[in-house]
Structure 1
Amino acid sequence: MSTYISEANKHIQDYLDYYFDGKKNFEYAVLLNGAWGSGKTWFVKKYLEKKEDQGKKICYVSLNGIAKTSLIDEAIFKSIHPILGSKGAKLAGQILKGTLKATVKIDLDGDSKSDGSISGGIPKIELPDYLKINDNFILVFDDLERCELKKEEVLGYINYFVEQEGIKTLIVSNEEEIKDNDEYARKKEKLIGATFSYIEDQNLAIKSILDEISEVDLKSILNSEIELITQTFNQVGYKNLRAFKQTIFDFERFYKRKYFEDKDDSFDSEIFKKVLRAFLILSLENKKGRFDKEVLNFKSDLNEENSKKPVDKIVESISGFVGEKAQEFKKKYQMNLAEYMFSKDLWDQILNKNIINDSLISNELYQIYFRLKEEPPTWFKLWHYLDLEQKEFEELVKEAKLTIENQSLTNVTDILHTVSMLVYFKEKSLIFFSIESLLVLAINQYKKIVNLQENIKKFGYFDICDESGGYGLYARELPIFQKFLKDIAQAYEDKYIEKNEERGKLLLTLMENDSYEFYQQITNKFYDYPILNALEPKGFINQLCKINYRCAMSAIDGLKSRYTAHSQAKIYLQEEKWFERVIEVTNEKLAQPITILEKHKLQDKFLPNLTEIKNTAYKG
């Protein structure tokens, strides 16, 4: 077995052994350079573990975020004397240099109050012999580029230990992030005697990260899928091992064996691999900054969207990837949206909100995978229709037709695929009965069973591919099926609109009982949807007069924010008639017999604000 940590970097290990194990006073430090996430820190720590096993005394200091040399002193002291250097015993000052001339205060209980002091020019602290600085002592400074001090100042500081104390020192850095200058170059030339560039040893680094998994069962499974993991990591192209390590640990937190077990409690490796690959892709792309706030949410170009033909929009919506950047992402991984296994909302919960909801995860895996294996619907049996005998094919087609005629399908996925396959078979002259009436029945059944989601208001936001179960739709390119998709999208929107009266009543209630939530709903939740058309203008003004003045002005502020924002939806134009009627009703109310205070509110407070909103509203 090789004694090298990394074969690709064995020359570095050989030189460090020569440097640290020899008796020579080298009077220079060694610099190890490497990109962030390349694994150089992991390599260094593994090497230091070997040195500790050989009896070396290690002082490892990260310079990340350090802004004063005194903090480096303290970090060094904590490293060589972890008991006195702990939170229970904070010592400040330049201990190792012997330049401390003030009183050293000791806080033993961590309450930031001194519990005693040691007076004198040099602290009278006798370190045990095994901590004394000698040939067995190794000093390591990591993250030089992240130190907040001037880098030349840090090198000058480190030079004291190398030149005056003869301490063998390793500096670890990513020099690409350091702005070079003459002073830095001069200090570096004086201090550094040997420089090495760490060669990323990807396979070794990935294996070492997997070895840190605590769950024995998961560690074994992941190690058996290391080829898939490595391939996906390289495909993402985000060569940052820190981010990869975090992703693996996030997966460990997410993982429960029961998610991947069938009804007989047998582990299904196929679904595990699908979820693992999707998790790696989405997590790493998310850390890379690919998405806009939410997982699988791509920034769109308004001009690009407006220039597209309706048929192109339909095709994109079927795929679930809308916009140029989304299409680039789709081509990169050659995966349909449903092949990412979970819905966008669930992925966002898992990766951004750190919410692991067992029931949602299990339910989505059941619907998209286990249900099709355990209780295969008719369309699924027809999927490989070319392998069927003629009689079996005819019986299954008859069964599929009956499920639509009897409106017995209770799953959106089943409706989509059943219609898709019948349309496809008709196009290929494999069936001869009329399907037009079946499409009408399927649309009605779809509208009956589809679950409304408040944040999905119409077709532009309804990713039909989310409901296709990870299987491509046979008839997706056929005009009759594309019209069917438009019709069910309209059915969804119609069902959503039917709830608007109920939503309008809720908004009026919120105006009085929760003005903050009313503001949030009309400026965020419904920012792009003309929900205010569901409110009777007279009822809105009456409610405005009825509630307390603070809540009324909050509602008006909400209107101002809603209509003056440069929204893509040009929401004012969609509600312009409603808003103009609100102003008319206000004037009508002023012409009626009302109290002096109510007239004051309407005439001097509400109406001027409403008029100003009308004049400044964004009309696109």
Structure 2
Amino acid sequence: MKATVKAEDPTPSGGERIESYLTSYLDHYKGMIEPGFAVLVTGPWGSGKTHQIKNALAPAEYYYLSLFGLQSADEIRASVFAAMYPTKDRFKKIAAFADGVNVSTGGYGTLGTKGLPSAIVGALVGNNVETDRIIIFDDLERCKLPINDVLGVINRYVEHHKCRVVVIAHDEEVAGLGPIKEKVFGQTIRVSVQIEGAFDAFVKRHDLQADALFLANHRSEIIDIFKSSGCASLRNLRNAVDDLCRLRASLRTEHLTNASAMTELVRLFTALSLEVRMGNLTQTEISNRAGARMQNTVARVNRRGNEEVEMSAFGKAQEKYPASDLSGTLLKDAVLEDMLFAGHFDHEAIAASLDGHPHFASLGTVPAWRMFMDFDSLPEAQSAAAQATLLKEFEDRQIDGHGNLLHHFALRFMMAEHGLIDAGRADVLAQCKSYVDDLQRQGRIEVVESVWYGRPAGRREVSEGIAYWVEDSYRAEFQEIDAYIHEARSRALEATFPQRGAELVALLNAGATAFFERVCDSNVQTDPLSVVPVLAAVDPVVFVDAWMQAPGENWYWISGGLASRYKPMSLFDKLSDELPWITRVLELLQEREAATDSAMLRLRIKRIRAREEIPPLIEDAVEMRRDAEVRAARRAAPITPTKEPPVKRPRKATKRTAATS
């Protein structure tokens, strides 16, 4: 009588019990003679089912074949035959009987049958069956044959040939096996991931002693991260182990001997590698981890009332690893992106990323703000030195780069918030504004990038690949100083307009396309001056005079440059300050046309294409501006309550009105 005991693990979290049960049961099963049933081994995808079964049996105790891609019963039987008789001499003996029919033999290609009918050849192949070993059928769910047909073929080996059979299937496919499952399988064993044993096996695959030592030193961290990930695929663990060895090859001795840095590095890289391979994190999140992590905070700030805020993908990943910071800066975003998505391990970039981290750099070789941000992992004296440097740099106005400035200001708010300096939020805000004003007076404020000119400051969250230290308690003040800096940088850019405008006027007499290439988007490049109203600082008379004196071959490109510059919406949006300027330029061209005595010059001015193409754009911009002003006025107007008209109530019916009705 066949065994039908369910062999599910009574303690699913205990990998040791599952492994010992599988081994002991296969020891029992391989000693059975004509058991009359097969054993089904299931488990999650990538959980090491095949690995565990092969480890439980000696190579001489099983015939192994994969059902992956097999499309017929003949192919399954031929694959079994190929596994049992791996030498080609056996195939030649079968092929010697006939000619003209081919039977697939799986790993050995097709078997020529020299004329013998395929049914006879199938019988020869199907009936040459050895029963000395267990037959292992792997990848049940990947067979192209209908599942009941596959099990019918397998059952023939069990009942007709009296074989011992083990079938390996993915968890999700087991439910679809149908009623025939109970007929074929007398024992089901569910295998769970055996992480420790699998890790040790993966380590043995690496011949370099340095790799094996590195992995052995960080065995507990890697296994801990893998368990925290919730990943059920040992393939992902194997790939992470392989990539860690590639990462190790980029590290120098001073890196490898810094134990705390290496622990942080291994945990960071392993976690991100697993999250990317599981599809939880995309290239977008990895390319800006600090920004991705801040999404949850920004969402909480912007939420309405008590509405639930859905956690971001990066936030969900971070929750799994409370002892690790997935936005940690030992490896910069670009370096991680290169490794995890392009498979490129740039030794120099990796080493440089580590060298710039406080684990390896000293105060003076990295910015003070960068050093101070890692005060949690630094000796107190080193943190105190970094703080003292920060305060001195602020007092002496030593910092002027935009990103560094925001890092400084954010940390100053943080120090005030936690009592590290004697100041309140309003005090720090005033101090930071005074700092910006001083830079402006000294001409040291960094000009705003052209693409951001005329736009709100937005909410900057990161610089140098590192998020600003902004807490909810002072977020509003930080955003206010960010906007204040943005306005100062915009004024600094505007201060350059007269000089830049003069440069553009000079280009009217330079190469034919020189002006065109600077004032509008072209197929070659986008010049920064094409998106800022620099021409508003140019005297229209000076511009038209220079145009009239420009070489004739330049006129086409000057006109085309202006027409392309004022494409729809630009005169209402980013170049709105140039609306009066271009209007006056067109008026001057009309005046020059009327005033000239030269018929040829008159015709040339008349044919300037900008005179036809730009006026409709001006009209549209004027109308849009007028509409915007009306809408703004409506929003600003106070809402006066209107009196509700009195409600007319029906009179009560009297005897007289009732009679009249």
- What range is the shorter-chain TM-score in? 0.5 to 0.7
1:223 match: 216
Distance 2:486 2:310 in 1: 16
2:114 maps to 1:119: yes
Change beyond 3 A, Cα 1:406–1:140? same
Task: Give the CA deviation at 1:135.
Answer: 3.9
Given the alignment of the two structures, is residue 11 of structure 1 paired with residue 21 of structure 2, yes or no?
yes
Residue of structure 1 equivalent to 2:194? 201
Q: Secondary structure at the match of 1:156?
A: helix
Alignment of 1:73-152 (within 5 A): 73=77, 75-76=79-80, 79-80=83-84, 84=88, 102-104=100-102, 119-121=114-116, 133-152=129-148
Unaligned runs of 5+ in 1: 126-131, 313-320, 548-554, 564-570, 612-620
Of residues 31, 43, 60, the one that matches 2:52 is 43
1:234 has 2:227 as partner:
yes
User: Does the alignment pair 1:154 with 2:150?
Assistant: yes
**Hey, what does 1:355 align to over in structure 2?**
344
Residues 338-347 or 164-173, more deviating: 338-347
Deviation at 1:154, TM superposition (A): 0.8
TM-score (normalised: structure 2) = 0.59
Preserved CA contact (<8 Å) 1:139 1:167: yes
Q: 1-side partners of 2:48 and 2:450: how far apart? A: 44
| Structure 1: distance between partners of 2:51 and 2:469 | 44
**Aligned pair in 2 of structure 1 residues 179, 358: CA closer, same or farther (>3 Å)?**
same
Q: 1:378 to 1:195 in 2, by over 3 A?
A: closer
Residue aligning to 1:289:
279
Higher-Rg member (1/2): 2
Q: 1:14 to 1:310 in 2, by over 3 A?
A: closer
- Answer yes or no: is the 8 Å Cα contact 1:61–1:142 preserved in 2: yes
Given the superposition, is the C-alpha separation of residues 508 and 396 from structure 1 closer, same or farther in structure 2, using an over 3 Å criterion?
A: closer
Partner of 2:643: none
**Alignment partner of 1:244 is 2:237:** yes
AA in 2 matched with 1:26 = P
The reply on whether 1:64 has 2:68 as its aligned counterpart is yes
8 Å Cα contact 1:341-1:365 kept in structure 2: yes
Distance 1:34 1:80, change over 3 A: same
The residue that corresponds to 1:617 in the other structure is: none
Amino acid in structure 1 at the alignment position of 2:257 = F
Structure 1 pair 76–280 and aligned structure 2 pair: CA distance change class (3 A): same
Query: Which residue in the other structure is 1:464 paired with?
Result: 462
For 1:533 and 1:451, the matched residues in 2 are separated by 11
Q: Which residue of 1 aligns with 2:259?
A: 269
Extract unaligned runs of 5+ from structure 2: 1-14, 122-127, 505-514, 536-546, 548-554, 594-601, 621-661
The answer to whether the 8 A contact 1:6-1:204 is kept is no
1:157 to partner: Cα distance: 1.8
Q: CA deviation at 1:306?
A: 10
**Partner-residue secondary structure (3-state), 2:257:** coil
Q: CA deviation at 1:274?
A: 1.4
**Is this contact kept in 1: 2:470–2:478, CA < 8 A?**
no
Matched letter for residue 22 of structure 2? I
Q: 1:375 to 1:226 in 2, by over 3 A?
A: same
Counterpart of 2:172?
176
Q: Assess, with a 3 A threshold, how the Cα gap between structure 1 residues 346 and 388 changes in structure 2: closer, same or farther.
A: closer
1:128 aligns to what? none
1:81-132 per-residue CA deviation (whole Å, 9 max, x = no partner) reads: 55649xxx9x89xx9999997444999xx9x9x9x9662539999xxxxxx8
Spell out, residue by residue over 1:574-606, the C-alpha distance to the aligned partner (whole angstroms, 9 max, x if none): 57979x99xx9xx999x9979xxx99xx99xxx
Q: Deviations over 1:282-332 (max 9, x none)?
A: 2222222223453446999xx9999875799xxxxxxxx997554444455
Distance in 1, Cα, partners of 2:64 & 2:310: 49
Which residue of 268, 284, 296 corresponds with 1:278?
268
Deviations 1:440-487 (A, max 9, x none): 5679999878998999x996585426555x995799837655544455
Give the 5 Å matches for 1:301-380: 324-334=312-322, 338-339=327-328, 341-369=330-358, 370-372=360-362, 375=365, 380=371
**Structure 1 length-normalised TM:** 0.62
Distance 1:83 1:357, change over 3 A: farther
Q: Deviations along 1:513-542, whole A, 9 cap, x unmatched?
A: 6xxxx8xx9xxxx9xx99867899xx9x96
> What amino acid maps onto 1:119 in structure 2?
K
Match in the other structure for 1:317: none
Alignment partners' CA distance in 2, 1:442 and 1:77: 84
On the 8 A contact 1:247/1:280 being kept in 2, the answer is: yes
Equivalent residue of 2:136, what SS?
Answer: strand
Corresponding letter in the other structure for 1:60: Y
Deviations 1:343-394 (A, max 9, x none): 33332221112222222222222222322479576564795999669xx97x
Q: Shift in Å at residue 196 of structure 1?
A: 1.7
Distance 1:71 1:424, change over 3 A: same
2:38 to 24, 29, 36: 29
Instruction: Read off the aligned partner of 1:233 and give its amino acid letter.
Output: F
Q: 1:281 to 1:154 in 2, by over 3 A?
A: same
Across the aligned residues of Structure 1 and Structure 2, the Cα RMSD in angstroms comes to 6.5
Amino acid at match of 1:477: Y
User: Mapping of 1:457-606 within 5 angstroms?
Assistant: 462-464=460-462, 467-468=465-466, 477=474, 481=478, 483-487=480-484, 511=522
Give the superposition deviation at 1:152: 0.7
Take 1:41 and 1:572, find their aligned partners in 2: how far apart are those partners? 68
Q: Deviations over 1:527-562 (max 9, x none)?
A: xx99867899xx9x9679999xxxxxxx9xxx99xx
Structure 2: distance between partners of 1:75 and 1:496: 75
> How far off is 1:208 after superposition?
2.8
Partner SS state of residue 477, structure 1 = helix
Partner Cα separation in structure 2 for residue 572 and residue 77 of structure 1: 79
Write the distance in 2 (CA, Å) between the matches of 1:153 and 1:533.
72
For the residues of structure 1 that align with 2:518 and 2:311, how far apart are their CA atoms? Answer: 33
CA contact (8 A) 1:295 1:348 kept: no
Shift of 1:141: 1.0
Partner-residue secondary structure (3-state), 1:148? coil
Matched residue type, 2:181:
K
* Identical-residue share of aligned pairs (%): 17
Q: Distance in 1 between matches of 2:337 and 2:84?
A: 44
The 8 Å contact of residues 420 and 476 in structure 1, kept in 2 or not, is answered as no
Residue 144 of structure 1 deviates from its aligned partner by 0.9
Check the 8 A contact 2:70/2:145 in 1, yes or no.
yes
Counterpart residue type for residue 251 of structure 1: L
Cα separation, 1, equivalents of 2:339 and 2:284: 11
CA distance in 2, matches of 1:199, 1:474: 42
SS in 2 for 1:170: strand
How far apart are 1:155 and its partner, in Å?
A: 0.7
Give the partner amino acid of 1:291. L
Work out the CA distance in 2 between the residues paired with 1:98 and 1:178: 41
- Structure-2 separation of matches of 1:198 and 1:65: 24
> 1-side partners of 2:446 and 2:398: how far apart?
11
Distance 1:445 1:267 in 2: 46
Q: What is the aligned partner in structure 2 of residue 167 from structure 1? A: 163
Q: Shift in Å at residue 197 of structure 1?
A: 1.9
Give, in whole Å, the separation in 2 of the partners of 1:120 and 1:151.
Answer: 31
Could you give the per-residue CA deviations for residues 19-77 of structure 1, whole angstroms, max 9, x where no partner exists? 2234x122332111222232222202222xx422xx43x43222234334454355445
